[in-house]
Structure 1
Amino acid sequence: MAPLTYFNGTPIGLTAVFVALVSSMGGFMFGYDTGQISDILVMDDFKRRFAECAPAASLELIDVSTCEFSTVRSGCIVAFMSIGTLIGCLCGAPLADALGRRYAMVVDCLVFFVGDIIQITSTTHWVQYAIGRIITGLGIGALSTAVPMYQAETSPSQIRGLVNGMYQFFVTFGILMAYCIAIGSRELENSGQWRLVNGLGFTWPTILAIFIQTMPESPRWLAARGRDEEARRAIARVRGVTGSSSIFGKKSSKAEDELKARWDGLIDRELDEMHNTIKYESQSANGTWLDCFKPKDKVLYRTLLGMSIQTFQQLTGANYFFYYGATIFASVGLSDSFITQIIFGAVNFFCTFFGLYVMQKCGRRWPLILGGLWQSAWLFVYGALGTAHDPTEDKVSGKIMILASCLFIFGYATTWAPGAWVIVGETFPMRTRARQSALATASNWLWNFLLGFFTPFITKSIHFRYGFVFAACNLVGSLIIYFFLYESAGLTLEAVDQMYNDPNCRPWTSGKWAPPGYKDRADMMAKLKTENTKEHVEHLDSDSVHDEKVAAEQRT
């Protein structure tokens, strides 16, 4: 199988695209579960069954206008999933190390199935539904550790930012899909309103569990276990320079073998770089949870940095809108909060397309810095208007607040949404990567829970002034990025580790850093492009010569 394309002269295979698409289904599950609960909470049948209602002779006779969720009950239903995800991401790290990234994802999907069954079979006890959300959270949390790690370890460094960004893209896709399904299912009678939304949740883990087995295992995980031939095969597949027909028990063709031989040097260099890092890290034995907090080689620095960035992704305020969007939009006087929620989800989804481009072309640091400033500005507008005017009476203020929300989401979807997951995937050293990724992701889920649970209490007390809190958090997040995050765009994972340990490199100068042998990052990119392009052209020329010989033989 020939490469799908060449990036700066380096081959990129079709398998690299499928790695991004298939594994990102874990992000879709995250987004779908996040998006569905906002609309389910306002569905009539769900309120009759699980809210506090005026007494009636039977469930069908309950007057839904008397049904209201208490602050505690709605907070628990929304936020309990985050308890599961917090535990799941911590358990997902050793699971991914023990079973490999792919098989760990299958186990995570099975856990999700169990939680979804518990939710669907709930009848009138809201606690059962909440427990089901905890268990689905276990699966989603474990996937949130395994998927970004798998994508970063498997993808070619030239497109790693794009591939890692796909995780967040699928999160937004899942949120939008949940909104669209919910607006259709609300027309159904009885429990079909919300059970259809929950039931369709079985589709996404099924797709992930089946198709991830057709993808290569992480070459870094394989190399760390001495399975070099499998690691070489995995690298070759994502580069598109070997046949993938062996998946189905067939042998590679002669043309595929010739193509593989031409790019053996590239595969050897990548594998050698992995081995050098593994050899260095093996001197410190296997990475443990305690090792994540040791200052040597800036491991503690990177653990705290990853946890901080994931924390401030939550403190941007995005999930304030995703979890309680329907309620928020109803509070500003909009007649159909479902429709507005879909518009909101569409803005989030389509802007993430631009976010993938930003992560690939503009690096990591400046998009996050400028994104934080942009988000802060619009949250100040949102909070100021909501505080100065009653949006249920002042329709103009209400509409401007919705516009400010959408512009906030535009900034979030193009910067912090994909950026936090990209950084988690590429910042940590191999020896402790799984556990550091788990700790960073755990901080995301911890704050996800705190915001999901306490938001009803906070908004009841300070109303739209909540926007000021998130605006300030965005400013703090921008400062953390400027002073502590190193620019990792364009570097291999092994080179990123070298950069963090270079005493002469500072975060604000890291954009120019390059491995030994290059003057700076621009020089490295230029030389690699020249070298790879030359090698690519030579391969094309040899292909032309080969084709001419074959044609001449056929004529004779």
Structure 2
Amino acid sequence: MKHFVQGVPIGWVAIMLALLASMGGFIFGYDTGQISDIMLMDDFLLRFATCSTPGDVSTCSFSTVREGLIVSLLSIGTLVGALLGAPTADFLGRRYAMSAECVIFTIGVIIQIASERVWQQFAVGRFVSGLGVGALSAAVPMYQAETAPSQIRGTLTATYQLFITFGILVAYCISIGTRDISNSGSWRIVVGIGILWALILGIGILFMPESPRWLAAHDRMEEARSSLARVRGVSEEEAKSHHIIAGEVEEIKSSIEYERQVRAGWIDCFKPKNKTLYRTLLGMSLQSIQQLTGANYFFYYGATVFKSVGLSDSFVTQIILGAVNFFCTFGGMYVLERFGRRRPLIVGGIWQSIWLFVFAAAGTSVDPTTHPGIGKLMIVSACMFILGYAMTWAPGVWILIGETFPTRTRAKQGSLSTAANWIWNFLLAFFTPFISSAINYRYGFVFAACNLTGAVVVYFFLYESSDLSLESVNMMYTNPNCKPWTSGEWAPPGYSSRQDLIDQTRAAETHKPLTLEEGKMEKLSESSADGS
């Protein structure tokens, strides 16, 4: 069974692999969303917080250090996991690596739900779970980018971020359903359900095709051809003579053969040749800025923030915020396919900065606990910020991590970039209680400035990679005549414009011969083989 996108066959497997692999994002989102509400649950406070009157939850509270460590140790685990994710995915293959990482995550969950009175055990469990989540965050976008057809690559890769937001929302909903349970089930159920998500991904991914680029790199070309055929919805027999499959196999093969000429180690990620260092720093910067937008300020500490604003039920507000985040990500998938990568990130950075400024200015000028109107304005501004984030920076950065780097260093550069995300994730999770207690809502001004910085970085340094194959993206970055602000019009040698490339590719793939098409494809292949 197959459908056609831009006149090109797309199999149902392409959709399934994107959805299933994105369960890795769901797992991360679920783990991120649950902790904010769990920290306010009565039984959790009685067990792990400091209580001046034993048994009286109203006298229980977490110290700043303890709160920061419980929340942030997940991020330390994800940092280590992200760095280990690349070699694991390269050694085991993308699918088996994801299954192994689900096992690690499950072990972490078991450690958490087995905690009785020692908060350090719960925190260590979050660290172990983080190892699995971090490794998945490196493997999933890479797998999706390498396996998804280029015609829908952006949308399918963006499902990773969509599932992160869905996981956050589901965690909020389950938390509000269990919070009134008087015993440890209030938080143990929320944490333990995470095992179900790991089982779905760990077992289900084994039924999906392996990355054709990984198979080709391990001299398994027939399996690579079979993988491409399954994704395209083409039968095994038909694949042997299918023009689209043959073209993709040759493009992958030529790219792999060139990159075998140079051994790629970690140090190669920091070599300036072919703008490799440039792209490593760009990927790390984009992932860092995604954290510095301030989104996780609301996801990790949202319940606490909204409770301080004077809301009677901060759990409900968290669900509203999570729902805005989830549903707006659908819009983000459309925006990033329709308007490319650069423009949405620039507009998003400016939009997010404006609403964070409103949030911080409102909370700083008047005490929101005594002025309900100000509290409502802060909630609205937070929702408007999340709207912009969910439609631009949230899915956009994960798409770019999958399509910006050259094949021979893609796994390692992806890991370095993702590690930068987790470093800032940890720093924000751990230090936010300290910073908030010192400057209160003025913290929003810091995030507003970071969003503006993000828009500037995108304008001056990010190249427009939409509508290009991964091999063509590499050619664009290494073309000295192409600048970031002109990259939206760039096309590979032999094509007059980006639109010409799109038209020619569609024509070729739908059996509509165009003049000089064969010559143009030959030039493209030669340029790719030269590594230019």
How many angstroms does 1:51 deviate by? 0.4
Counterpart check, 1:132 vs 2:125: yes
* Normalised TM-score (structure 1): 0.91
Which of 297, 317, 321 is equivalent to 1:340?
Answer: 317
Which of 125, 143, 154 is equivalent to 2:136?
Answer: 143
Gaps of 5+ in 2: 514-532
Paired letter, 1:172: T
1:301-450 maps to which residues of 2 (within 5 A)?
A: 301-450=278-427
In structure 2, how many angstroms separate the alpha carbons of the residues matched to 1:535 and 1:79? 55
How many angstroms does 1:260 deviate by? 3.5
Which of 66, 76, 90 is equivalent to 1:97?
Answer: 90
* Normalised TM-score (structure 2): 0.95
- Contact 1:391–1:397 (8 Å) recurs in 2: yes
Aligned length: 513
In structure 1, how many angstroms separate the alpha carbons of the residues matched to 2:230 and 2:366? 59
How many angstroms does 1:280 deviate by? 1.5
The Cα RMSD (Å) is: 1.1
Q: Secondary structure at the match of 1:502?
A: coil
| Aligned position for 2:6 | 8
In structure 2, how many angstroms separate the alpha carbons of the residues matched to 1:419 and 1:240? 27
Counterpart check, 1:277 vs 2:270: no
Q: Secondary structure at the match of 2:61?
A: coil
Which of 220, 231, 236 is equivalent to 2:224?
Answer: 231
How many angstroms does 1:531 deviate by? 3.0
Q: Secondary structure at the match of 1:516?
A: coil
How many angstroms does 1:146 deviate by? 0.2
Q: What do the CA deviations read for 1:473-504 (whole angstroms, capped 9, x no partner)?
A: 00000000000000000111111111111111
In structure 2, how many angstroms separate the alpha carbons of the residues matched to 1:47 and 1:479? 43
Q: What do the CA deviations read for 1:115-145 (whole angstroms, capped 9, x no partner)?
A: 0000000001000000000000000000000
Q: Secondary structure at the match of 2:485?
A: helix
How many angstroms does 1:535 deviate by? 5.5
Counterpart check, 1:506 vs 2:465: no
Paired letter, 2:6: N
| Aligned position for 2:147 | 154
Paired letter, 2:373: V
Q: Secondary structure at the match of 2:9?
A: strand
In structure 2, how many angstroms separate the alpha carbons of the residues matched to 1:260 and 1:431? 26
1:174-193 maps to which residues of 2 (within 5 A)?
A: 174-193=167-186
Q: Secondary structure at the match of 2:265?
A: coil
- Contact 2:489–2:498 (8 Å) recurs in 1: yes
Q: Which moved more, 1:42-51 or 1:507-516?
A: 507-516
Q: What do the CA deviations read for 1:282-334 (whole angstroms, capped 9, x no partner)?
A: 1112x111111011111100000000000000000000000000001111111
How many angstroms does 1:358 deviate by? 1.0
Q: Percent identity at matched positions?
A: 62
| Aligned position for 2:446 | 469
| Aligned position for 2:245 | 267
| Aligned position for 2:518 | none
Counterpart check, 1:519 vs 2:496: yes
How many angstroms does 1:528 deviate by? 2.0
How many angstroms does 1:261 deviate by? 5.4
In structure 2, how many angstroms separate the alpha carbons of the residues matched to 1:320 and 1:414? 18
| Higher Rg of the two aligned structures | 1
| Aligned position for 1:26 | 24
Counterpart check, 1:194 vs 2:172: no
Q: Secondary structure at the match of 1:6?
A: strand
How many angstroms does 1:239 deviate by? 0.6
Q: What do the CA deviations read for 1:236-264 (whole angstroms, capped 9, x no partner)?
A: 11111126xxxxxxxxxxxxx3x5456x2
How many angstroms does 1:162 deviate by? 0.3
Counterpart check, 1:214 vs 2:193: no
In structure 1, how many angstroms separate the alpha carbons of the residues matched to 2:77 and 2:351? 32
